[in-house]
Amino acid sequence: MSSSSTAPRRGGKAEAAAAKPPIRDALVAAAFRLFLERGYEQTTVDDIVALAGVGRRSFFRYFPSKEDVVFPDHERCLADMTAFLAASSDGDEPVRRVCDAARLVLGMYAENPAFSVQRYRLTKQVPGLRAYELSVVWRYERALAEYLRGRFAGRRDGTLEADVIAAAVVAAHNNALRSWLRSDGEGDAGATVDHALGYVQAAFGHAEAEPGGRRSGAGAGASARTAADDVVVVAARRGTPLWRVVREVETALGPSGAARD
């Protein structure tokens, strides 16, 4: 719950100039050094604390489990995402909002490309870490889904929509993120994720999703649903691919066009 906030308070005493990393950072550094040079399962917690120069008991005071040291900032990121979603207003388009929330996670990865790539290689080949990452991702997905459930409350299949859209957003985000990680963090992570999320927005969102990924900061004001007599009629030939009809309907119902691909 508060893995990052579990860190003891910073000592007020100015210790030299920049002795920021308390014990927690030393543990992360030691752990990654050993994980990379001899493997995750071949490294025991005793090895880590020995290299970090702290007691074994302290490790579990900073990280509830050995796996947690591999994801040292996810708790903070999850808290950021929750706060971001809680700060939305009713004017926000829900799907766009969860897409933006997903971009927060990408931002965390993009902060330390080298670290993220190392961790990616690690989690890719250690089943235990992969399983742990799944539980982390699941919490992100639940946060998005819970937000959408709130926004979709009252709709007939609100929870179904919320769960499906949240899963789609997470899947698109992860697809782009992993593609970026596989390229050793060389490409433009933001553009890749924007493209992937644009696909989801085109499928589920009512607002515009520009193919280039540069999204306009505005975009609110999609609600014109008070006009009950405002009826849209769409005609299509039988045999038309459904996605074309969907696009037609979407452009007719929404304020602006939804461009896909």
Partner DNA sequence: CGCGTACATGGCACTCAGTGCAGTATTTCG
Partner DNA sequence: CGAAATACTGCACTGAGTGCCATGTACGCG
Binding site for a copy of itself (CB under 8 A): 130-132, 134-135, 138, 155-157, 159-161, 163-164, 166-168, 170-172, 174-176, 195-196, 199-200, 202-210, 213, 215, 223-246, 249-250, 253-254, 261
Cα 51 from Cα 1, distance rounded (Å): 27
Q: Which does 130 bind (CB under 5 to 8 A by kind): DNA, a copy of itself, none?
A: a copy of itself
Least distance in angstroms from the C-beta of 136 to DNA: 14
Nearer to a copy of itself, 10 or 244 (CB): 244
Nearer to DNA, 57 or 156 (CB): 57
What is the sign, positive or negative, of the torsion defined by CA atoms of 146, 104, 91, 83? positive
Would you tell me which residues interact with DNA (CB under 7 A)?
Answer: 8-9, 11-13, 22-23, 43-46, 53-58, 60-62, 64-67
Q: Which does 118 bind (CB under 5 to 8 A by kind): a copy of itself, DNA, none?
A: none
**Among 181, 1, 165, CA closest to 74:** 1
Least distance in angstroms from the C-beta of 110 to DNA: 28
How many other CB atoms sit within 10 Å of the CB of residue 20? 8
Q: What is the CA radius of gyration of the chain?
A: 22
Tokens matching residue 75: 């708790």
Given a contact cutoff of 8 angstroms between Cβ atoms, the answer to whether 41 and 68 are in contact is no
